[in-house]
Structure 1
Amino acid sequence: MKARLRRSAALLAGSLVPLVLLAGPPASAAPPDPLADAFTRAAATYEVPRDLLVTLGYAETRLDGHGGEPSASGGYGMMHLVSNPTVHSLEQAAKLTGQPVSALKSDDAANIAGGAAVLRAYANELGLDAAARKDAGKWYPAVARYGNASSSEVARLYADTVYELLASGVRAATPNGTVTVRPQVVRPERGAYAKAPDLDRTFAAAAVDYPGAHWAAASSSNYAVSNRPASNAIDRIVVHVTQGSYAGTISWFQNPAAQVSAHYVVRSSDGDITQMVREKDRAWHAGNHNSRSVGIEHEGYVDNASWFTDAMYRASAALTRSIADRYGIPKDRTHIVGHVEVPGADHTDPGPNWNWTRYMQFVTGDTGGGNPHTPQSVCGSGYNVIDSAALGSAGTVYLLYNNSTGYNCVTTIKSTSIGTASATSAYLEVQGATRVTDSSDFAYYAGPIRASGAGKCVKWGGKAGSTGYDSPFEHCG
């Protein structure tokens, strides 16, 4: 890389250990990877644990600098140095390293050094001495701050993601080799963040429109309160890609300066879902489709297919299926569209790497050799889906209701191990009556469980594989 890494006297003030120049590798050794070398040099220069620095960058961008183009929230380079109306870590990095902003945006080595310098500055403010800086677990509050989160719970979500990656290890292909972090046991010292709500915990169903989603409200400056579908029919679902990380997107939608939002955000690694705007309200995500649509953001970048995992496709498809069932939206590509397909849109997401064929197969259940059964075929004529909950990638549990008879029905439809008997269950409990459960090794589905529930609250749920869902008493009437 042409950019030279510079020490920051203001940041380090005599705290640097002189760098030792090592002899070059033997002639038979593979040439060093410039990107791996940049992480090693930046970590040594700013006394940041090298593996923590790599993992933070991987959590932000998968170590992809995107050619100097910014993320949705104004973050640059693989270390996601941000410049927007409320966050200025890019400018802070320029001051700390002496590098020009232009280099920090587009030069990988400069950007990595900038990220290390900012992270070290936060460690200095925490009072981490030389001994403490060697323990990656003590950097947790500095990592949490690096995410520029709008709330303590999102800061915790951001830092937990970094430390979970540190525990599982990282292997990222680069243009000239591979950057690797070995799995390791690190005990994060959360400090004040230990008291912050954990957004990875399940929220009560009453707090969200989609069972199993978490709730983190977008700023009221970023959406319009409404009363849909009474005020406007909901007949479209719009698929987006965040151009940023999961935690970073949640934080951006909570920032009043953003002036954008979506109803849901889906995580790449495991399909985790956070709701940020109630479906009745109009999120600002799709221009002239805002009044008629529900918007789903997916963690990642349009030019990097590695973000679009099986877990993400399956979880998002289950969410889309639930929305479509509840509003009577046809499950086709006329009504389930990408942002780029919205008339007048100037965005390209979800982009050419998004596998629409695979996604729509998951939405419709037509996966070729997949589960041939639907909730309606299991429960019978007259039943309509009124709620559902994804059970990871293993299946979905459905609650249906028959308006003519006043009966509820619950069934769990498998998505994996189709045709092979495996542990699957479903249950229905009408308030004041005994819970009825169907649990065994089933090849396709558990249930149906039917019970008269007109005018009464019900609890419902089920399990497929190791993932289960349990509702509170709800749908009272």
Structure 2
Amino acid sequence: MIAAPPSRRARLALALITALAVPAAVAAPAAADPVRSPAGTGPLTPAFDAAAARYDVPRDLLVALGYAETRLDMHAGAPSASGGYGLMHLASNPQVRTLDEAAARTGLPAAALRTEPAANVLGAAAVLRAYADQTGLTPAARDDLGRWYGAVARYGGAREPSAARLYADSVYDLLRTGFASDQGETVTGRAVTPQRGALERASSPGDMGTLSTDYPPAAWAPASTSNYTVASRPSSHRVNYVVIHMTQGSYAGSISWFQNPASQVSAHYTFRSSDGAVTQSVREKDIAWHAGNWTYNTQSIGIEHEGYVDNPAWFTDAMYRASAALTRSLTTKYGIPRDRSHIIGHVEVPGATHTDPGPNWNWTYYMQLVNGVTGIGSGTVNTSSANLNVRSGPGTGYAIVGSVAAGATVSVYCQAAGTTVTGPSGTSNVWNRIGTNRWVADVYVNTGHSGYIPGVPRC
């Protein structure tokens, strides 16, 4: 039975959290489990193992769901924009009550579910298992990842079928492609056929069948009419600003939140981190409720970007470039100057109580892209050793986050001044960003230029 008797909650809470925190207490998974990747090595591994075993939920499905929601980040117990907590985004808002459901089904107190990683994962597994049971999923079918699709879609809490499908598809895309998290959890990609049921007929906002009439690259998934003001801009109000936001949540979850009448928030556009995909939720002529300042709302276009301000892993080149293309289009359409007085962060709106897009947002790079400096350079790694270290920032003082092989071709998205290094091409302080938080010294890359590459943005 999934639900624990209320009278045992306090004792069970302590026992479960203590057990989950100790790797030795976690039983080894069956070697023949067809839905499990090789064991992770990070601090969350025991929590995922124990939760998957306790509630008979595919481990990789749990990891993928958490990765899609938060990149497996607890965010110090702070809630997301839609009231979700922890790495599994247990939600407590007028529409979605997965936090309360987790408390009821595990016997764990809400405080532990919000702040303890092991409890948070256990709660999500309990809720997901309950949803699967309610869809009629039998014990014999639980190893079939595709059969969990309905439970995953329900976990996201979307009101509209299109948003529910977008949410579940994002999880299943991760299962198909595989990924490795910063916490050491690895999911190997595999062929999986999601069984969407009634949602098969729902057009996901990412499908080509539902497009924006304002900005052709965008999908169209309208916000609830309770969350924006119908207007006739720019005739009624001049559009003077573009306001940059971070969602403090996932792409699919944010689009769903705008469709929730209780949220009382919306934005015109939302960008996905992984590939720069964009969805429009409010027409440009209408006033989205995004800036927390009515005057600025009436005069601006609000653009959300998937991720959290405190985790730079969300800030991808694909998202920067796609967003800058939209902003460039908007500035042309409405005659908005392409400067930092008119392209601003949410934090810069008078009276703002939010800090987004935060210190990890690269304004220099973004504004160069908006102003048309969009070239990408390339080069060949030139090192006498087998591999060249890749660092998390432009300097030798930054952590090593990987390596590239000698002779490999790399893309150079932007360049910055950093630690002076001597290498095969001489001595220079120029560093090349070859990916999200991935940097190599320019003196180890043959780009055909000495130092800065013409047309490539400065980071």
Q: What's the TM-score once normalised by structure 2's chain length?
A: 0.73
Counterpart for residue 237 of structure 1:
242
Query: What amino acid is the match of 1:244?
Result: G
- The reply to whether residue 253 of structure 1 matches residue 262 of structure 2 is no
CA gap of 1:20–1:292, structure 2 versus 1, over 3 A, is closer
Query: What amino acid is the match of 1:322?
Result: S
Counterpart for residue 92 of structure 2:
83
| Residues 203, 213 of structure 1: 8 Å contact kept | no
**Residue 339 (structure 1) aligned to one of 346, 349, 354:** 346
CA gap of 1:89–1:227, structure 2 versus 1, over 3 A, is same
**Residue 52 (structure 2) aligned to one of 25, 39, 43:** 43
**Residue 157 (structure 1) aligned to one of 146, 154, 166:** 166
Query: What amino acid is the match of 1:259?
Result: Q
- The reply to whether residue 322 of structure 1 matches residue 329 of structure 2 is yes
- Matched residue of 1:173: which SS? coil
| Residues 238, 295 of structure 1: 8 Å contact kept | yes
| Residues 266, 316 of structure 1: 8 Å contact kept | yes
Cα distance in 2 for partners of 1:81, 1:243 equals 14
Cα distance in 1 for partners of 2:28, 2:157 equals 36
How big is the shift at 1:186?
1.0
- The reply to whether residue 218 of structure 1 matches residue 223 of structure 2 is yes
Cα deviation 1:293-315 (Å, max 9, x = unaligned): 00000010000011111100000
Cα deviation 1:394-444 (Å, max 9, x = unaligned): xxxxxxxxxxxxxxxxxxxxxxxxx99xxxxxxxxxxxxxxxxxxxxxxx9
Counterpart for residue 296 of structure 1:
303
| Residues 26, 50 of structure 2: 8 Å contact kept | no
Cα deviation 1:120-152 (Å, max 9, x = unaligned): 000010111111111111101111111101111
Cα distance in 1 for partners of 2:375, 2:216 equals 27
CA gap of 1:272–1:219, structure 2 versus 1, over 3 A, is same
Cα distance in 2 for partners of 1:34, 1:123 equals 27
Structure 2 matches for 1:104-183, cutoff 5 A? Answer: 104-174=113-183, 178-183=184-189
| Residues 246, 304 of structure 2: 8 Å contact kept | yes
Cα distance in 1 for partners of 2:188, 2:173 equals 12
Counterpart for residue 64 of structure 1:
73
**Residue 274 (structure 2) aligned to one of 262, 269, 275:** 269
Cα distance in 1 for partners of 2:40, 2:266 equals 45
How big is the shift at 1:3?
5.3
Cα distance in 1 for partners of 2:165, 2:220 equals 15
- Matched residue of 2:185: which SS? strand
How big is the shift at 1:81?
0.4
Cα deviation 1:62-101 (Å, max 9, x = unaligned): 0001010000000000000000122111000000000000
- The reply to whether residue 194 of structure 1 matches residue 200 of structure 2 is yes
Cα distance in 2 for partners of 1:334, 1:307 equals 25
Cα distance in 1 for partners of 2:362, 2:338 equals 16
> Which one has the largest radius of gyration?
1
Cα distance in 2 for partners of 1:143, 1:22 equals 25
| Residues 203, 209 of structure 2: 8 Å contact kept | no
CA gap of 1:358–1:122, structure 2 versus 1, over 3 A, is same
Cα distance in 2 for partners of 1:202, 1:129 equals 35
CA gap of 1:138–1:204, structure 2 versus 1, over 3 A, is closer
Counterpart for residue 283 of structure 1:
288
C-alpha root-mean-square deviation of aligned residues, in Å? 2.3
CA gap of 1:38–1:222, structure 2 versus 1, over 3 A, is same
- Matched residue of 2:337: which SS? coil
CA gap of 1:343–1:35, structure 2 versus 1, over 3 A, is same
Residue range with higher mean Cα deviation, 181-190 or 298-307: 181-190
Counterpart for residue 32 of structure 2:
none
Cα distance in 2 for partners of 1:152, 1:170 equals 27
How big is the shift at 1:202?
2.3
How big is the shift at 1:368?
7.5
| Residues 273, 316 of structure 2: 8 Å contact kept | yes
Cα distance in 1 for partners of 2:213, 2:344 equals 23
**Residue 360 (structure 2) aligned to one of 341, 347, 353:** 353
CA gap of 1:21–1:227, structure 2 versus 1, over 3 A, is closer
| Residues 3, 107 of structure 1: 8 Å contact kept | no
- Matched residue of 2:181: which SS? strand
In structure 2, stretches of 5+ residues that fail to align are 1-12, 18-24, 30-38, 378-410, 412-446, 449-454
Q: What's the TM-score once normalised by structure 1's chain length?
A: 0.71
Cα distance in 1 for partners of 2:257, 2:310 equals 21
CA gap of 1:3–1:262, structure 2 versus 1, over 3 A, is farther
| Residues 263, 277 of structure 1: 8 Å contact kept | yes
Cα distance in 2 for partners of 1:20, 1:343 equals 51
| Residues 48, 121 of structure 2: 8 Å contact kept | yes
| Residues 26, 46 of structure 2: 8 Å contact kept | no
In structure 1, stretches of 5+ residues that fail to align are 7-18, 24-29, 371-392, 394-418, 421-443, 445-477
Cα distance in 1 for partners of 2:15, 2:180 equals 26
**Residue 184 (structure 1) aligned to one of 180, 190, 194:** 190
- Matched residue of 2:309: which SS? coil
| Residues 27, 50 of structure 2: 8 Å contact kept | no
- Matched residue of 2:223: which SS? coil
CA gap of 1:75–1:233, structure 2 versus 1, over 3 A, is same
| Residues 100, 110 of structure 2: 8 Å contact kept | yes
Cα distance in 2 for partners of 1:20, 1:65 equals 21
Query: What amino acid is the match of 1:182?
Result: T
| Residues 46, 117 of structure 1: 8 Å contact kept | yes
| Residues 40, 50 of structure 1: 8 Å contact kept | yes
- The reply to whether residue 73 of structure 1 matches residue 82 of structure 2 is yes
